[in-house]
Amino acid sequence: MEDVLVYGLLRGGIYALAAFGFSLVLGVIGIVNFAHGALVVFGGLLTQYLAVKFGVPYAAAMIGGALGTGLLGAVIQRLFVARTFTLEPLMVLVQTFGIATVVTELGTLGWGSEERMLRLKTGLPPGFMLGDTFVPSFDLVVFAVSLVSAAVLFVVLGRTEFGRAIRACRDNRESAQLSGINLGRTFEKTMFLSGTWAGLAGAMFVTLSPVAPYMHFSWTVDSFLVITIGGLGSMLGALVGGLVFGVLSFGASFYAPTIAPAITFGVLLVFLVFRPQGLLGAGPAIRK
């Protein structure tokens, strides 16, 4: 029981990190980005590539991977989504799905379809006992880094001019535009932030588990699950949702491995039907 809780929470940090960007884009631009999982995977593989191929130290590779992914996100926004997102949201779903396919296929062509992992030699002790539970210290470090980067995101959104513009667009697009905010630019920045944190999630995950291009879709779905549980439009919701989802998915695959996906999706449906605003989200928006 404690094991499930501890390991679930440790994984949950990364899920939360991946979901921040998904939630941000859904809240600010108003689209579900089906390419989000592809960004997570891209970040992981880019980090692995930088570290293995060029021998870049992990910390630098991680930052490089995250920023590279952010850039990819901004490019996707400028070249593709910006032309479509004012149309029916359905179109953007299909469009970003196509983008996910293209990114994944290009990634496969460039890096191959096999699963890759980045094993770090940290010199840390392997772990310690917390009651009856063995806590691997490296996972703990990754979890701590996740929390710190979440805090960084909170500060960026809450305290900077950049963050204020993004929040203004989220709360009321028309009045943000009237007060001189460039919507197109802000959306690109939003996608950049979203991609950066997705890439960061990938960069950390690749040190714990193998990553391969074909996994992109499950990352998208997981991000969606996280914000459905936590609540749309609140970063704190994504954090809580990530941790809850971590425990839930780890518990499901621990206690009932054969039907684990059915359990997590069942929980998703329960949330969608009975509490669509999630644990911490605001109520559903309605027209003015």
Partner 1 sequence: MATASPLPAPLLRVENLSKVFGGVTALNGVGFDVHPGEVVGLIGPNGAGKTTLFNVISGLLPPSGGTIAFCGRSIGGLRPDEICALGAVRTFQSASLLSGMTVWDNVHVASLFRPAERARVESAAACTRRALAFCGLEDCRDEIAETLSIGDQKRVEIARAMATGPKLLMTDEILAGLNAADSEGILHMLQGLKREGISIIFVEHDVRSVMRLSDRVVVIAQGRKLAEGEPDAVARMPEVISVYLGGRYAQGV
Partner 2 sequence: MNFVSMAYAIRTGPVRNQLLCLAVFLLVVALCPLVMNDYWLRLMVFVFVNIGLASSWNLIGGFGGYASFGHGVFFGVGAFAGAVGMVRFGLPLPAVMVIGGALSAALAALFVPVFRQKGLYFALSTLAVMLVFETVLQRWTFTRGLRSYDLGWTLAPSLPLEGFFYLFLGLLGLIVGSIIVVVRSKIGYALHAIRKDEVLASSIGVRTTKYKAITFMISAAWPGVLGAAFAPFLAYVSVQSVFDVSITLNMILITIFGGAGTVIGPIVGGIALSIIDQIAWGNFLEYHRLIYGALIVAITTLHPGGLASVFWGWVERRRSAAKPVPRPSAPGHPPTSAPRRA
- Burial class for 158, CB neighbours closer than 10 Å (0-12, 13-18, 19+): exposed
Least separation in angstroms between CB 155 and partner 1: 23
Per-residue b/e over 119-151, b at no fewer than 16 CB within 10 Å?
A: eeeeeeeeeeeeeeeebbebbbebbebbeebbe
Q: How many CA atoms lie within 13 A of 221 on its CB side?
A: 10
Q: How far from 197 is each of 16, 49, 177, 252, CA to CA, in Å?
A: 10, 18, 26, 26
**Residue 282 interacts with which of partner 1, partner 2, none, CB < 5 to 8 Å by class:** partner 1
Closer to partner 2 by CB, 25 or 243: give it: 25
Per CB under 8 A, contacts with partner 2 among 204-223 are: 217, 221
Stretch that binds partner 1, among 53-61, 70-78, 115-123, 279-287 (CB under 8 A): 279-287
Mark the segment that binds partner 1 (CB under 8 A) among 57-65, 87-95, 196-204, 280-288.
Answer: 280-288
208 and 47 Cβ atoms separated by less than 8 Å: no
37 or 281: whose CB is closer to partner 1? 281
Q: 201 vs 43, 130, 189, CA distance in Å?
A: 8, 26, 18
Place of tokens 């600010």: 28
Residue with smaller CB distance to partner 2, 82 or 140? 82
Task: Output the smallest distance, CB 243 to partner 2, in A.
Answer: 20
Q: Which of 158, 265, 275, 282 binds partner 2 (CB under 8 A)?
A: 265
180 binds partner 1 (CB under 8 A): no
282 is a contact residue toward partner 1 (CB under 8 A): yes
Does residue 99 belong to the site contacting partner 2 (CB under 8 A)?
A: yes
Q: Is residue 282 at the binding interface for partner 2, with CB under 8 A as the rule?
A: no
Question: DSSP assignment of 57-105, as one string?
Answer: -HHHHHHHHHHHHHHHHHHHIIIIIHHHTTS-HHHHHHHHHHHHHHHHH
Q: Does 287 bind partner 2 (CB under 8 A)?
A: yes
Compute CA distances 71 → 57, 138, 149, 178, 199, whole Å.
21, 28, 18, 28, 10
Nearer of residues 119 and 287 to partner 1, judged by Cβ: 287
Residue 119 or 288 with smaller CB distance to partner 1: 288
In the complex with partner 2, which residue's Cβ is closer, 101 or 133?
A: 101
In the complex, least distance from residue 25 CB atom to partner 2, rounded to whole angstroms: 12
Residues of this chain that bind partner 1 (CB under 8 A): 282-283, 286-288
